Structure 1
């Protein structure tokens, strides 16, 4: 049985010579709300990042106007993600499966499922709904269900005849006995996540502490620096996505062992 290190090694092998394509595809997928990996290590390293660096900026005299502009922009971005995010997520799953299978993987794979906007929407909506309902009980059941449904995009990408509910059910089946393994794979990336966070924290701290210009200039500078200081994530995310794809290939290559159903 493979362990986390094996999946990471296979992911690196798949990415060799294809980093540029993987990074550019990952950036486009993230912009369209289509990343597949969304798990504990991301929460640990990123959940408070924006709050830690930007919270005090909105208390400045010009912070209110900036906040209004940001909210409008975020709202428009959220609508775009809601409409196309699911279909692009299916395309991103297709890209990563091509990558780990040694096939031609191109950024155009993101849009290979463009005629499945409704299927993609249903997938994201139902996954989010079920996880939210389980999370009403306690946090832990919601996390467990997140991992239970994690393989849904790959399943729908490979089996377009399945409905979103059928793909979710199949994901639950193949993840029986494998949820802990996927959690461990996620957790094995936490060091990279934290390392990538350091420049962002350091940059925000230095600007807020030592910048002597106006508050508006400080706000603008921090926001402009956010993307370049987060460049490490542009490489870690494709690495994680490729590792997830190798995990999916592994657990669907042979019968899974039964585990307690949640």
Structure 2
């Protein structure tokens, strides 16, 4: 699997839907970032809504790369599976945070190992949080290095997008999300 091909294919999947995807990502970031952006005391509110929103955005981009209908309101679909998405967000945050305290590299490995959890939960809404995380960990065996390279290229694209007066940032984010959904699709089919 070529990482560059994932970005190229992700961009192709966005054809005719790029503005919709940009709007969806923008709404996602505005809602997820508003609570703590106004006042740090609202950080708990951010935690309470970030999990379901992450699940919803994963569902949106899975539908997009699969050629299904996509709508902005799909980012709220994660609230239908609120408790597992919240538990998963808290557990992943704690695990990655603990790993980062242990010399950074374990935190990166943990984050990569759990990176497919929201896609798995989007595909399996009856699954509990821990099972989705375990499935992600198993699925990522043999693919962590690929996803690390994918993440580095994503960061580079974001930096390039920011250089273009912030407008480019919102152009590349949907490509990164679509490529991430494609990464999940490719390894899901191999598992």
- Name the counterpart of 1:163: 128
Instruction: After TM superposition, give the deviation of residue 76 of structure 1 in Å.
Output: 5.7
Q: Cα deviations across residues 206-258 of structure 1 (Å, max 9, x unaligned)?
A: xxxxxxxxxxxxxxxxxxxxxxx422211111110000000000000013xxx
1:14–1:162 distance in 2 versus 1, CA, 3 Å: same
Q: How far apart are the structure 1 equivalents of 2:182 and 2:105?
A: 26
SS in 2 for 1:105: coil
Instruction: After TM superposition, give the deviation of residue 109 of structure 1 in Å.
Output: 0.7
8 Å Cα contact 2:161/2:170 also seen in 1: no
1:9 paired to 2:5: no
Larger Rg: 1
- Give the alignment's TM-score, normalised by structure 2: 0.91
Number of aligned residues: 190
Higher helix share: 2
8 Å Cα contact 2:139/2:188 also seen in 1: yes
8 Å Cα contact 1:196/1:232 also seen in 2: yes
- Name the counterpart of 1:64: none
Say what the alpha-carbon RMSD is for the aligned residues.
2.0
- Name the counterpart of 1:243: 179
- Give the alignment's TM-score, normalised by structure 1: 0.68
Q: Cα deviations across residues 21-70 of structure 1 (Å, max 9, x unaligned)?
A: 10010011112339xxxxxxxxxxxxxxxxxxxxxxxxxxxxxxxxxxxx
Name structure 2 gaps, 5 residues minimum: none
1:79–1:10 distance in 2 versus 1, CA, 3 Å: same
Name structure 1 gaps, 5 residues minimum: 35-70, 200-228, 256-262
Q: Cα deviations across residues 82-137 of structure 1 (Å, max 9, x unaligned)?
A: 22221111111110000000111110111123232222211110001111222222
